[in-house]
Amino acid sequence: MTEFTLPENVCWIGPERVGGKHPIEVTYFKTVFDMEKLPKTANLSISANTRFTLYVNGKEILNGPCRGDYWHQFCDTIDIAPYLTTGTNILAAKVVAYVPLEAHNDDRSNAGPLWDVSNSAGPMLICHGEFAKISTGIADWYYLNDKAIKWQMQQIVYWMGCCEDVDGTKLPHGWEKDASVKKFAPAKLKWTNNMFLGEIPRLYLYERPIEHLLRIDKPLAEQALRGEAFTGQDSVTIPANETFETIIDVGQLTTAFVYFPMSGGAGSTVKILYSEAFVKAEQNERGRNMKEVRSDATGFLPGAEDVYRPGGRDEVYSPLWFRTFRFVKISVQTGDTPLTINPPRLTETRYPLNDYVNFATPADWVKPVWDISLRTLELCMHETYEDCPFYEQLQYVMDTRLQILFTYAISNDVTLARKTLHDYHTSILPEGIVQSRFPTKNFQVIPAFALHWIFMLRDYYMETGDVDTLDRYRPTVESILAWFKRKTGESGLVENLGYWDFADWTDAWRSGVPNAARTGPSTIQNLVYAYALRVGADIMQTLKIDELARRYKNERKNILFNIEITTWCHKKGLYKEGPGFDEYSQHAQVWAVINGLATGARAQKIMTRVLEDKDLVPCSFVWQYYLFRALEKADMYEETEKLWPMWQELLGLDLTTIPEIPSKYTRSDCHAWGALLLYELPRRFLGVQALEPGYKKISIRPMGLFLGKMSGRVPTPHGDVTVQWSVKDGQFKLQGNTPVPAELTLPNGIVFDVLGDFSVLVEL
């Protein structure tokens, strides 16, 4: 992370605050300045506690700052020159200050999102421009405290904090484009960003480590599903003392800032509900409602709801943070005057992810599954990776490791991945383990997730060849593995890990915890640990720390030996869920094969049972990646053809994203841990992946021959690789081009090196 340097006289500013219990606070800041000549560039650096919306001459241009943590407050920089004018200019920022966990009310009616790592400083703003007269601490900045917004907890999105209840009569309408500061007071000078004698000031600034999020303006919808005649493209007027309701299908799940223009309607109440999908009354044992075809507008529409009470003038309501939705329900109760709702609009926002993969295949399911997979990954990437954009927006390690692999596969983008590695490194607890999700104000540990961070670090090294970053986080690898070693029991296996021993969402395991882990060692957790020891040893060997590499190899050998002698069942030909624990899962078999505990014919027998034995506890979406890897290691990758219907069936449900679990009782409709095709198509179907760190040499090994043929382009940091293959009449034809040396592996096992154009025809 790069520290942000500011002149000594630039400082944070804030409002006059009242004592007592800290509420969520909103403050409007602005400064007015003149310009005789317009500059070609005018870079403005800005940060706030906790979130800001930046306006230049009344135009909303940026939301920020980049999400940080207790140790890192980020400063965003943007060129505001395109928005300036000769003469008078208004620079304005709306700032909301969420409160720390300790200030939440018992009913969390004073709660911001869990991902927001806030403090008790209240609304704070700091700005610095290329022309100093606009900087806070130098320019005359003014503030007005908000009195219009109340915060209401919506239990369905508990993790996302409160929604808004806004009294439009109390808003300072037009404040962001009005040069007058008549109702504003001079902002209070707070503190600078400078250290003194090593003391770190509050909200210490670092440069934004990722690009700004995309902002794509769109109409809200083309048609309403049901309700009054309102298409979302035309205005509608609701007479006095009447009700109105409409439900709009946006067509696909979306993350966007929303804007609702309206006029008149003093005394009205407008409720705006955002939802992923309609649900049926039927529930499963966990209380989850059933979902069917997503475009089916029958049933109940659950969601998070904002409330706006118009002030009786021309106005636009827009919540501060983006909303996630496919459906929007607008409900109105007018008062004594009619209300006109004008066409709503949205600004879609997400990380600027680029998809550089190009492909063609006669298999008609591949393109639509790719499209919804890509949409899922896009919506789960903003200022961090996210588990789901609707319910939580929290960055979990196990989810994120897969999302990063998918990002590498389609774009070679490492920017957000690099920030993510540091996020989790920052989260480390004094006992030596990283948290399962971060940044967050509410700490959580899922022990096995920490092991996936080690996998994530090795993945980054393979993608970039960046040894310095590998060495930077080496101590964290050591700390995690040492934490697990301290959990070794009398059996020689790790056990009683504590916290939340989550593995997978499956009906057989309460709260996702393997049943064996509740009473003793879990085969699954030990095998994941064993694999992390292998990866840790590889990292240490790369860094030439041979003693640690040997230690990790020996520890891994002991874990695998003890798993073999205590959990292998000769009668069933499977690994038990734990020593003496007579339960069997796909998960344990998968990791036994990945670890090389079972190899050759034995591995193939095990994986055949995994595919055919319906009594095994099944892997959900998040574990399919590892199931695919086990089949690949057992030389059975072609058997993955039997697994793809799990994704193909989603198309018949009119889903536009991949749900959290492959079930009609899924909670989230958007969970990128299931966007597996983004990895399998470029890395296995087209077969292109790094063989040496940083793609100094690549591997080209097409798989998935059940597709018949495939052609495409896969990005690498050194240029695109093209691959085209087909299977016909017992022959495999392959041709393409690689800009870097490549090891070409054919289906018959022949291996040779290629560079530039290549073409081959072999018998299968």
Q: In Å, what is the CA distance from 364 to each residue of 251, 360, 655, 714?
A: 22, 10, 17, 20
Give pLDDT tens digits for 464-481. 999 999 999 999 999 999
CATH code 1.50.10.10 region(s) in the chain: 377-648+665-685
Q: Which residues contact 21 (CB under 8 A, 6 or more apart)?
A: 103
DSSP conformation class of 442 = S
Length reported for the chain: 764
- Give residue 20's pLDDT: 60
Q: In Å, what is the CA distance from 84 to each residue of 59, 60, 185?
A: 10, 13, 24
CATH code 2.60.420.10 region(s) in the chain: 698-763
Cβ–Cβ contacts within 10 Å for residue 118, how many?
A: 22
- Give residue 265's pLDDT: 96
- Give residue 441's pLDDT: 92
Give pLDDT tens digits for 239-270. 999 999 999 888 999 999 999 999 999 999 99
Nearest to 410 by CA among 681, 626, 755, 603: 681
Q: Report whether 681 contacts 703 (CB < 8 A).
A: no
- Give residue 227's pLDDT: 53
Assigned fold of 377-648+665-685: Glycosyltransferase (1.50.10)
78 — pLDDT class (breaks 50, 70, 90): very high
Q: In Å, what is the CA distance from 336 to each residue of 169, 313, 354?
A: 15, 14, 51
Phi-psi label, residue 498: left if phi above 0, alpha if psi -120 to 50, beta otherwise: left
> Residue type for 310, please?
P
Q: Rounded to whole angstroms, how far apart are CA atoms 484 and 497? A: 8
Give pLDDT tens digits for 322-347. 999 999 999 999 999 999 999 899 99
Instruction: Kindly report the CATH class assigned to 698-763.
Output: mainly beta
Q: In Å, what is the CA distance from 390 to each residue of 255, 457, 742?
A: 8, 28, 42
- Give residue 232's pLDDT: 58
Q: Which CATH number fits domain 11-148+170-212: 2.60.120.260, 3.90.1150.10, 3.40.50.920, 3.40.50.300?
A: 2.60.120.260
pLDDT > 60? residue 225: no
- Give residue 592's pLDDT: 98
Give pLDDT tens digits for 732-755. 999 999 999 999 999 999 999 999
CATH code 2.60.120.260 region(s) in the chain: 11-148+170-212, 216-350
> Residue type for 402, please?
L
Give pLDDT tens digits for 679-732. 999 999 999 999 999 999 999 999 999 999 999 999 999 999 999 999 999 999
- Give residue 19's pLDDT: 60
pTM (2 decimals)? 0.96
Q: Rounded to whole angstroms, how far apart are CA atoms 187 and 201? A: 20
Superfamily (CATH H level) for 216-350: Galactose-binding domain-like (2.60.120.260)
- Give residue 3's pLDDT: 87
